[in-house]
Every structure is written in structure tokens, then in C-alpha cells.
Amino acid sequence: MNTSSSDPWIGRFIGDCRRYYLEQRIGAGGMGNVYLAMDTRLGQEVALKLLRDTLAVSIPLHKRFEREAMLCAALKSDHIVDISDYGVTEEGYPFYVMEYLVGETLGQLLRRETRLPVERTIEIACQVCAGLQLAHQGVRIRREGVVTTSDPIQIVHRDLKPDNIFLIPTALGELVKILDFGIAKIRDEALELTNLTSTFLGTFRYAAPEQLQIEKNIDGRADIYSLGMILYEMLSGSDPFGFGTEARKTSGVSWGIAHTSQMPQSLRSQPQCAHLSVELEAIVMRCLNKQPEQRFGSVMELSAALQSVLPTSLGHTAGFIHSQPTKEAIAPNSANSATDERKPTPPSVTSPSSNRTQTPQTRIFDLHQHQPKQYTPPAHRTDAINSNPTDSNPTDSRRAQQLSQTQVQNPSVEQNSREPQRTRRNLWLLSSAGFVLGVAGVTLVAGIFYLYFLLPQSKPPTQSPSTPPASPQPLEPW
């Protein structure tokens, strides 16, 4: 957390009715600074992003910044940072207010641990895909309750990197949120060309080739390329172009040449990556294809491919990825589960040693353990009946078999046979309760009789005759 005592904004109130008090600066980027602020109206901490002074002098930038804030506020997802307010300072600098998150960025985690396990990597990537899906599908902007756009506006992040992915530890697992959504779109094309090196210095490493070539028709597949770069780094601890430990010091021009013309190295060829599956490597390398049409068509297609290579001990769902419940969780034994290609329902199996049909095991998904469990429905209780003809005469054997079949076909027969026993037990309980109440009543009456009639009355103490007081003596005169 970076603080700056020389920052003139720290210690100031901004917003309507001086609502937000800026306490300290917690981040800085090419577009603006992020401050930890106190919402004095609600009494809670928030994150406030303020546009840089150099970019705030342009009126078109003001309008685009406001439009981007509205777009991000319309993205209501558990995996996108929530924007709650937008305003302009007294000096005319626009800002917007976000939720204050407690945790760390993926960039901080990778700088500490270098590489991540396969399971955690896939879980983080799938949650990022869940957040990107809503943006790529498009949102409609509302102003004062009225929809201002007829067609959904599709949003491309274009600045996806580990420092813009935030990890929040919770009781249910690790929650992933995307930060700075769509901020790269706030600048016009001329500004992107003139400030190419300085502006993209921190994000050149994850930019898609079409983004570096300043193409106008950029869609969600550019974010898939950036996510492929992040996947490669999480699994290998390196980059796919051989920069190695000097990757963070590599210039933007070198990254641009690598993204547009250099082929990425195989993921499994990296040190300590030979254990990775061929399927997982193919998914990552497909994301890094130079041609957008050769990548995955959508982030949900990428998410499904990643979940398909998860170890069987984790099932097909991880962490907070529950946007669409699996068929096992909806109807594990219904007819709809027959169409499930991943886990087809096993047919009924007839045991060779008996004529009974074995009940197929029902598949239940445990959300806490993230793994399927097996559950077998209990059979009817027929073991109490002796159906072995060698232990009794043939008549008793046939009668026992008939009774066994009757109880299996109609379980109410056994229940009806227990009704007299329940009735006798209830009568015995009522009789016992009546006897106890009678004894208590007799004891109470005897106690009252003893207290009022047999207990000797105490006599009041006799008073001895008191000596009459002496008459006062007359006073003698002087």
C-alpha cells in the first residue's frame, strides 16, 4: 500500500455535500490515482479513482470517462468490482467510487510464489471468464431509470493483467474480481498512438496482437489472448517468448514484436512443466494464437475447456463458479440426466446370484468437498423373514416367501401389523400417567390435612403482672 504525504488530494473532502474524505493513496496508474476514502454518509471505506490532471483538461475525455463509469456500473457481477458513484470535483476533475476490497492482486501473488498449482490456476481463470462473459455479451445503459441505448453495448477490457485481478479470501474459498474494467477505452486513438510507449509500458506484456496493431474492430477474443498470457505465467512462472527474468524490464517495443511476429514456446517445454497434461497445454496455446479466429470463440468456451481438464477429484465445478448448476445437482436420477455426455446414468444391473434388480447408484455433488459422492438407496427390510427352505418345512417356507413378497410389494402390511402394539403402548403410558397424578393428589390432600388439623397450635406467651408505675414526687420550692 503506497502512501504519499505530498499528494494534495489527501485530507480533502470531495463529492456532493463533501461526502468522501480522502485518507491515503493506495494505487496509481496511467489514467489516474486510486485513494482509500471514507464515505461519511454511510460510514464505510471505499476506493475512489480520480482522473489524472493531465487528462482532465479535455472535455471529450470527461464524457468518455463518465460513459465508461456508467458501463462499469452496469456490469453487475460477483467477479467484477462494483462501482457505486460518479462525480466531479470543484476543480472539474471526474472521479468514480468503487468498493474497497481486502486481499491481494494476482500480480502480488505471482511475485511471491512464482507459479500456482493447476487446480488454483483453473479456478482463478474460470472466475475471470465468468466476469468477462457479462461484459462481452453487452449491457444497456440506464439514466434516471430510462434505457438510453437500444442495443447492448459490448465491453472489452483490453487491459487484462495480473495486477487487475484481485483475490479475496472468503469462508467459501477464493473470490476473484476484475479491476479497472474498460479504462483503456477512455482515450482516443490519436492519444494511444502518440503515447504508445509510456502508456502501454505496464500492459504491453499481456496485450493482444490486434490491440498493438491499433485495429478498431477489437472484440472479446483480445481478452482471451491476455488471459492466455496470464495462464501461461501462472502455470510456468515465465513468459512464452523467452524473456525470462528480464520480462519485467523488457521494453514495450520488444513485447510488441514478440506478440505480433514471434511464435510462443511450448508450455510443457518450460522447466518443471513436463507434468502438465497435453490437453491443458493445447488450451493455453490456443489462447495465444496470433489470429483471433483461431482462438476460442468465447470466454465460456474457454472456461468449459479448462474445467474439462480438472483432476477427477475436483469434479467439474470449482470455487465460486456456480452460474449454471450442473445436471448432477439439478436432477441426479431424472430422465434429463440421460442426455448428460459427461456422466451418463448407469443402467440397472441384474445380479447373477439373485433375481432382484440392483438399484443404480445416485450421483450427488458435494459443494463443500468439490467431489462427487456415491449414495445407494436402502433396500426394503426383508432380512427378518427366513426364506431358506432347508431351515423349515415346505409349507412354512412357501408361507414365508409369500409374506416376503407381500411386504415388498405392499410395505403397508408390516405397518398395519404394528398398530396393535402401538395402541397397547399408548394405553400403558396413559395408565401410568393417571396413577402418578393420583398419587400426587393424595399426597397433597394429606399434607393440607396435617398442616391444619394435626399440627399443635402454639400458645401465646403469658405476660407477668407489671408493677404500676410510681407516682411522680411533687417538686419542693426553693
Q: Which sequence positions are flagged as catalytic?
A: 159
Task: Give residue for cell 496493431.
Answer: 213
C-alpha cell at 11: 485530507
C-alpha cell at 316: 467439474
How distant is the alpha carbon of residue 124 from its chain centre?
11
Say how far apart CA 301 and CA 43 lie, in whole Å.
42
Say how far apart CA 370 and CA 236 lie, in whole Å.
25
CB proximity list for 76: less than 8 A, separation 6 or greater = 82, 134
Say how far apart CA 226 and CA 208 lie, in whole Å.
6
Say how far apart CA 64 and CA 290 lie, in whole Å.
30
Say how far apart CA 76 and CA 66 lie, in whole Å.
17
Q: What is the DSSP string of 53-94?
A: TTTTT-HHHHHHHHHHHHHHHH---TTB--EEEEEE-TTS-E
CB proximity list for 400: less than 8 A, separation 6 or greater = 385, 386, 387, 392
Say how far apart CA 205 and CA 326 lie, in whole Å.
36
Contact present, 101 and 166 (Cβ < 8 Å) = yes
Closest by Cα among 102, 131, 123 to 1: 102
Task: Give residue for cell 467510487.
Answer: 97
CB proximity list for 416: less than 8 A, separation 6 or greater = none
Contact present, 168 and 177 (Cβ < 8 Å) = yes
Q: What angle do CA 59, 61, 63 make, to 5 degrees?
A: 75
C-alpha cell at 200: 502501454
Q: Is there a binding annotation on residue 327? A: no
C-alpha cell at 302: 474457454
Say how far apart CA 31 and CA 221 lie, in whole Å.
24
Closest by Cα among 367, 369, 319 to 168: 319
47 membership: H or E segment, kind and range: strand 44-51
Residues annotated within the binding site are 49
Residues annotated within the binding site for ATP are 49
